[in-house]
Amino acid sequence: MEDLRCLAKKEDATVIVTVDQAEQLFTSASDDLRDFMGLLADLSKQADRRMMVLATLRSDLLNLFQTHRALEGLVYETFPVAPIETRQLPLVIEGPAKLGGLQIEPGLVQLMVQDSASGDALPLLAFTLRQMYERNARSGGALRIQDYRDMGGIEGAVRSVAERALALTRPDDQLLAALGKAFVPGLVDITESGKYTGARARWEELPEMARPALEEFIAARLLIVDDDDGHRVVRIAHDALIASWPFLSKLVDADRDFLEVRKRLERAADLWERDNRDASRLLPHGRPLAEASEILATRGGA
């Protein structure tokens, strides 16, 4: 710390250490990350109060931060950051581009904002802009409408990231089959309205052969890792992956009937549990019981 202050020629300066995506410190089993977290905690407890850690953390994982042993006694303040509004999206595109010296073709920002009307706007924009930057930084640094359209827009960027992550695993038929079982039904669910959505799955319940490929998807931020009572839990980062990646969209469409039946059985099971397993809540004879019996016989592991 003293070396940093000397370089800044400000002996009384406060050193700020920034940690982006700090949830990874709590959801990973890596010894290096645990050691890093302990080091940050020790540094931030210094008596001279001239060191500060500024960390970003997903709000749904705040409890992990508050209860972690390595951080006991740590003095901290929380600053909730509200979701970004649509009217602010142009700043997200134009601000970093200006800092990076990138030219933006007129009309591109408006087009991207128009395509970002979903709740996943910010992370999907991040995917798209990263792709466009990597494609164009070597050829003058301009962000152009045609390049954006060639990528297929927002969803096209997600698809290309997925394809690249899969290609890194050099998949054969066996790996593709295992990966398919990991995603469907493990990581995909269906809502009551019939919309595909991501689901949470414990790591140990996913096919072992698929796990190296899933690690590539985690590294590409297409999958998110959480901790659930000591278990590593994986979920899809963006529902757009389901619709925009042909490999996955074909799988869910082929298994739609199963996903719908499983959803009905989950609702029935919830009612049965809430009513203290009342016998009147058991599946009646006929279609409901037949569906459940068939799933048990053919897809018991799912």
Contact call for residues 281 and 275 (beta carbons, < 8 A) = yes
**For the segment 26-72, what is each residue's pLDDT rounded down to a tens digit?**
655 455 666 777 777 777 666 556 778 888 887 767 777 777 776 77
Res. 109 pLDDT band, cuts 50 70 90: very high
The number of beta carbons lying within 10 Å of the beta carbon of residue 72 is 8
From the list 245, 251, 288, the residue with the least C-alpha distance to 127 is 245
Q: Is 280 a member of any domain?
A: yes
Q: Which helix (H) or strand (E) element contains residue 152?
A: none
Domain boundary among 251, 266, 292: 251
Question: Using one digit for the tens of pLDDT, what is the confidence trace for 167-214?
Answer: 888 888 888 988 988 888 888 888 767 778 888 888 888 888 889 899
- Residue 141 placed within a domain: yes
pTM of the model: 0.57
Same domain, 188 and 243: yes
The radius of gyration of the chain from alpha carbons, rounded to an integer in Å, stands at 24
Q: What would the mean pLDDT of 142-147 be, rounded to a whole number?
A: 86
- Non-local CB neighbours of 276 within 8 Å, separated by 6+ positions: none
| Beta carbons of 241 and 162 less than 8 angstroms apart | yes
Is 27 a domain residue?
Answer: yes
pLDDT at residue number 48: 59
Q: Are residues 15 and 61 in the same domain?
A: yes
Residues 62, 125: one domain? no
Do 105 and 39 share a structural domain?
no
Residues 6+ apart with CB under 8 A from 55: 18, 19, 20, 22
Considering the domain architecture, whether residues 227 and 185 belong to the same structural domain is answered as: yes
Number of CB atoms found within 10 A of residue 126's CB: 13
Of 176 and 155, more confident = 176
Count of domains observed in the chain: 4
* 118/177 same-domain check: no
**Would 20 be classed as within a structural domain?**
yes
User: Residue 55 to residues 20, 62, 95, 167, 240: CA-CA distances in angstroms?
Assistant: 6, 11, 22, 33, 28
In a domain, residue 161? The reply is: no
Residue 162 lies in a domain: no
Domain that holds residue 139: 90-151
| Strand intervals (E) in 14-89 | 15-19, 51-55
> Do 6 and 63 reside in the same domain of the chain?
yes
Q: What's the pLDDT tens digit per position in 229-270? A: 777 888 888 777 887 888 888 888 888 888 888 888 877 887
Which of 231, 251, 271 is the C-terminal boundary of a domain?
251
Rounded Cα distance between 267 and 218, Å, is 30
